[in-house]
Amino acid sequence: MMTGLGEGGTGGADSDTAEVSTNTEVSNVGTTQTPPGGPPSPATQGQGYSLIQQVTLIKEIYPIQSIVLSPSCKRLLVALNGKGLVLWDLEAQGIIQRFCGHQQVSQKLCYSFCGANEDFICCGSENGMVHIWRVGTTRNCRPIHSMMSASSNEIPVTGVHWNPTHPHMIASVNDEGDIHIWAPAKFSSRL
């Protein structure tokens, strides 16, 4: 079953890369408390992890490179290998928006929700850029702002993260080891 949500959740975003699964699979997996090759350490003793329940909510057609759960746990940002980003509404189980315009072919890039209301998405790019998109602008999947974060377009920006204390601040890192802090000029004097 293919489904998509556009502005206001009324449908409209194409869903040619994904589908929503209406069936659920539940599986219980036993815990393992002994690390391979030896007895449990005091730090891990009695602290095993187990899969409590497995439920398939969405299934992407293209390979998934990474995922980011929003701080509110209501949205899931899915990075598809070379096919852009897809923002899912986990409650409605539909696509909110697609984002394109960044370069990702071979590097594992990190993505981040930004802003006090999770109304922006930012990510690095293999061409040395940091891109920012506004959530809710379904007519254009291109970034609303892009900035160079490396000394050349050959240096990938592999990590970005927003500051929840200062919602206008974003940090980025590139493969040269440069860490940059970004903020709109009108906010930079207060940070």
* Angle (nearest 5°) at CA 105 between 102 and 110: 60
**pLDDT score of 151:** 73
**pLDDT score of 106:** 62
Beta bridge partners of 172: 160, 180
**pLDDT score of 171:** 92
Distance from C-alpha of 144 to C-alpha of 191, rounded to nearest angstrom: 23
CATH number, domain containing residue 126 = 2.130.10.10
**pLDDT score of 144:** 86
User: Does residue 184 lie within any of the structural domains?
Assistant: yes
Range of the domain at 162: 63-188
The three-class DSSP label of residue 185 is: helix
| Structural domain count of the chain | 1
**pLDDT score of 76:** 92
Tens-digit pLDDT profile for the chain (191 aa)? 333 333 333 333 444 555 544 333 333 344 444 445 555 555 556 678 887 777 777 778 888 888 899 989 999 999 888 788 899 999 998 889 888 877 666 666 777 888 878 889 898 888 888 989 899 876 678 888 888 887 777 788 888 998 888 888 899 998 889 999 988 877 766 55
User: Does residue 41 lie within any of the structural domains?
Assistant: no
132 Cα distance to chain centroid: 12
